Structure 1
Amino acid sequence: MGQQPQKTGIDIKLFLPHRAPMLMVDAILEISPSRVLCSFRITDDNIFVKDGRFQEAGLMENMAQTCSSIVGQTLYDDNYNPKSDRRVIGFISGVKQMTVFELPEIGDEIWTESTLTSQFDGEDYAICTMAVEAKRADRLLSRAEINLFLKHS
């Protein structure tokens, strides 16, 4: 079964309601219906930086925002125009087996990759399970399985 081609260079703000200081993804590098790769540079003014390091809560938020962009893309057409005026509210409904191996430092760029492993679509909601990893260069920073609940309003 063939996979749809990946889109690249998409503004993350199209797919997420988050804005500074809670936006923990800078750019979508690659995205398809089942996989996304995002980047994020750690800055000294980030609310999740403590003692020069991006904390576990920041990694979790980065990973969750990366995951939710997979579902967020379904609300837009191929030209990134909204398909309707519906808004999405999303929540982390569960985190399974999150492991943090290392905390990135100020100035580091992390790449976070998520793969959709299952999705259930209701009439006005979706429940998704995603595998996600955050890396700095070739070093694995964190790995988790995240469940998201997304409600269309």
Structure 2
Amino acid sequence: MEEGRYKIDIKKFLPHRPPMLLVSNMPFIGPESVITEFHITSDCIFIDNNYFVEAGLIENAAQTCSAIVGQSYFDKEDLEGTSNKLVGYISAIKKVEIYGLPKVNDTIVTKAKLISRYDTEGLSICTMSSSTFRNDDLIVDCTLNCLIQEV
């Protein structure tokens, strides 16, 4: 397994706040991959008829993916997310396949990998692949382009 960090509080590093924060835990992050978890609750804004809808699944994937490149903007010793401020944007959805929708009280696990990255002063353009699972069943497979920018 690649060298990485375990059990980082991702909420301290993402600019998102409820109700747009769609990641609960980050059990692992490395230089080119990340694993996140999201426990779906009934008060989530992406719930329709007790299901977590497609837009929520895509946003969960984007938040997960952004952590890979976003981590490089923070000091290595920073465990509180105070050494920088970032924003991220989905610049393109290259591919998305949704095989099933999770329900309220499910926990989904999203695994993402960095495919490519181009850096300029305070801005990264990157392509990442992501797979989301519910109880070990693949429910989402996607490839996203994202922009990560210092603010």
TM-score (norm 1): 0.92
Partner of 1:124: 122
**Aligned with 1:67: secondary structure?**
helix
Tell me, in whole angstroms, the C-alpha distance in 2 between the residues paired with 1:132 and 1:121: 21
Root mean square deviation, CA, Å:
1.7
Q: For the Cα contact (< 8 Å) 1:14–1:80, is it kept in 2?
A: no
Pair 1:85–1:5, CA change in 2 (3 A) = closer
Q: 1:140 maps to which residue?
A: 138
State the Cα deviation string for residues 60-79 of structure 1 (Å, max 9, x = none): 11000000011221122232
Note if contact 2:97-2:140 (Cα within 8 Å) is conserved in structure 1: yes
Instruction: Please list, as runs of the form range in 1=range in 2, the aligned pairs for 1:1-150 lying within 5 A after superposition.
Output: 4-80=2-78, 86-150=84-148
Quote the sequence identity (%).
Answer: 40
Give the paired residue count: 151
TM-score (norm. length: structure 2): 0.93
> Whole-Å Cα distance in 1 between the matches of residues 26 and 40 of structure 2?
16
8 Å contact from structure 1 (residues 75, 83) kept in 2 = no
* Structure 2 SS opposite 1:130: strand
Q: Is the 8 A contact 1:21 1:46 kept in 2?
A: yes
Letter in 1 for 2:69: V
Letter of the 1:114 counterpart: A
Show structure 2 runs of 5+ residues with no match: none
Return 5+ residue gaps in structure 1 as ranges: none
Q: Is the 8 A contact 1:75 1:82 kept in 2?
A: no
